[in-house]
Structure 1
Amino acid sequence: MTADTPQPRHFAPRGPLTGRIRVPGDKSISHRALMFSALAVGRSRISGLLEGEDVLATAAALRAMGATVERNGEDWIVDGVGVGGFLQPQGALEMGNSGTSTRLFLGLLASQGITAVLTGDASLSKRPMGRVIDPLSEMGARFEPSPGGTLPLLIEGMEPAVPITYRLPVASAQVKSAVLLAGLNTPGITTVIEPVPTRDHTERMLAGFGAQLDTGEEDGERVVRIHGPADLKPCNVTVPGDPSSAAFFAVAASIVPGSDLVIENVGLNPTRAGIFTVLRQMGADIEELDARDVGGEPVADLRVRHAALSGVEVDPAIAPSMIDEFPVLFVAATLAEGTTVTTGLDELRVKESDRLAAMAAALAEAGAKVKEMPDGLVIHGSGGKPLRGTTDTAVATHLDHRIAMSMAVAGLASSNGVEIDDVRPIATSFPGFAALLYGASA
């Protein structure tokens, strides 16, 4: 984050959300577009890249290992070094707050004959990396993490690495991607088995860059095989709008009376669009306009109008397709009629913060009726009645951008507004969020 001094902010009701807005590019796709372009031989052009701090950390790390990554007008130009062509970095690779950068870079480095140290901010340095270290160690990479399997962390890649077959113990697109990226520079076939399908941006984009992948279903499980070593070709990539970012505005428009908002250019990859499915189950009025395909990803403009929401029991099987959107879904649930029950969300306890505990405390502070369970939250909705909001204290965001943005949305549907203890983390994924939120509701 850009400064050491917390930046509190009060988010108060401003009226209906109307008009047309466009959210920043998809963060997951932006990370991968930069990485895969750096692994190609030649020049790639990326349009619509998210220019948040997390993605810029990825760009800086790629530069430190020999790739040329530059902004050119509205686009980004990447001159890649080829698979296996990264140079030994001269200093530590600073990951900032980006768990995606960290876990994917561990995969990239695991099969290259270089040694690197990865560091991060205070929040990222608390996040466990063991779930990535375990399969990459099987491939031959060596790790020296901090106690607890966290950053700072030293990785010594193995070249050639050993291809493995790895069944994911938990649904994690980052772990899957790390193993597949290690497989790019590994002779033979590296296989990942997913008992529960996760977001597939890595597979879609690697195929577009020319990698040989086989995907299918065996015994009810999704199986992805990558053939290495691979030669990636440069591409022109268009990044669609981030559905995780769009979710904040979809919820805000759903819960603020009188709202009628169009969110343009939203990526609707089925492995990422679970939030819109659940909101519709709750009664949200979300219409897809001009459905189209952009760079292999389904995209549409979303028209969202205020609607009376009802509590639901969220199927835990949908969690992988909306794991980052649960904090703002919890906000929607507080305004619904009846009770919303979520389970199977253990993953939320090891994000940028313990998102279950953080959201339970924040929503309770704002006047919601919330019960924290070991693997989810039970929320008793207000039936559309505005939340009380905060009065004397600020809600704690725990340096977590999604907690901050979710509670900002809650402030729009409250009587007194909601005080956020620190809005700095928002810049990691959504620069300009507050201005866009208030502009839509002005």
Structure 2
Amino acid sequence: MMILYFLFMIPLLFFNLINCWYLYQFSMILIMFMFMFNLINYYFSSFSYFLAIDYFSYGLIILSILIVSLMIISSNMIYKKLNMNLFLFMCLMLSLILIIIFSSVNMLVMYIFFEFSLIPLMVLIFGWGYQPERLISGLYLFFYTLFASLPLFLLIIYLYMSNGSLFFDCKYLFSLSFFFHFCLIFAFLVKLPMFMVHFWLPKAHVQAPVSGSMILAGLLLKIGGYGILRFMFIFENMFMSYNYIWYSLSIIGGILVSLICLIQGDVKCLIAYSSIAHMSLCLIGLLSMSKWGVIGAYLMMISHGLCSSGLFCLANISYERLSSRSFFLNKGLLTFMPSMCSMWFLFSSFNMGCPPSLNFLSEIFILNSMMMFWFNSLYYFVFISFFSACFSVYLFSYTQHGSSNFLYSYSLGYIREYLLLIVHLLPLLIILLGLNSFLI
């Protein structure tokens, strides 16, 4: 039903309706509420045509539709411009692709749409990006993903040849080959991205428009974690044998990337690197292969998707007024935009995992799973947590305090911008309050 809903929305975008922009957004929110009343179970339910949902896909699909509808509110610069309908079409395609990825029960279908998500994203970066460097950043994104996912495609063909099925609920061959494991997991590690294969992310983030940054941070990084989660249930022994390799890289990478954050001169670059630090924690939770770790990683995917997306919106709000993303020009926003300071404070606090946010709860879950996997990783977690707080404080204090470069002027936020930020903020608090029923 959802797929048909999206397909029938396509003609709407190419009629020259004046309120097509708002009608599209209303349609997205409507389908989100319709989807929320679906009956779901621990295992795949609502089966139809290689698609089904369970608890993992349920939250991520709702997050996808919410972020895509918020992309429309944030992209006010595109409203009533020449290519407005094409922009809406790209957003629609991205949301459709993400929903199929998160609800697919067939490996090949998931792989095809995993690759296909690159095309609308590259159109967003090339078409509505900021600087000429967007061309090279698009190529980084394209070739990293292409290079990493070819081994996965060959592995899927091999699985089909040896088992005759590609469904996630079948029993597959038992193999402890490291080459087999590497082909399986590498595509998802690049998408997450894990430290060492993360170079495409800051480049793509910085050059992408605000909508591109939101969908990259909010959703496309989550495909990696979701893929690992799905394959981990099938090849448990193989993952148990080799998890320590990726675990070690993630735990060291989390500390190093947090340090890299502290030397950034670009607001969007810092938020992009903070995404890598958070996703390394998410990967650690998944690789511990405990119930607490998986739930913690899942909650971190949801909370990071909302929090990071909100920070990119805030960076864009100041960029629209000052035409710069540099920390050296974005100083003193407290005097320039006093009304936005509380939002900066809340999002920076939630980014470092302060209570009462969902980020805080997910970090507690991941800390427990880390100690169950290897007790000494507690000491590494202390460093990751401390540096995470450092770069969040750095982001807040450097942008808000100091003397503003723009004398005798100040700016108010629009109602549209407050709506955008509050819709990012509320789920982080509401999900935390509703988790009692989820975890019983």
Write 1 or 2 for the structure with the bigger share of helix: 2
Higher relative contact order (CA 8 A, sep 6+): 1
| TM-score clears 0.5 | no
Write 1 or 2 for the structure with the bigger share of strand: 1
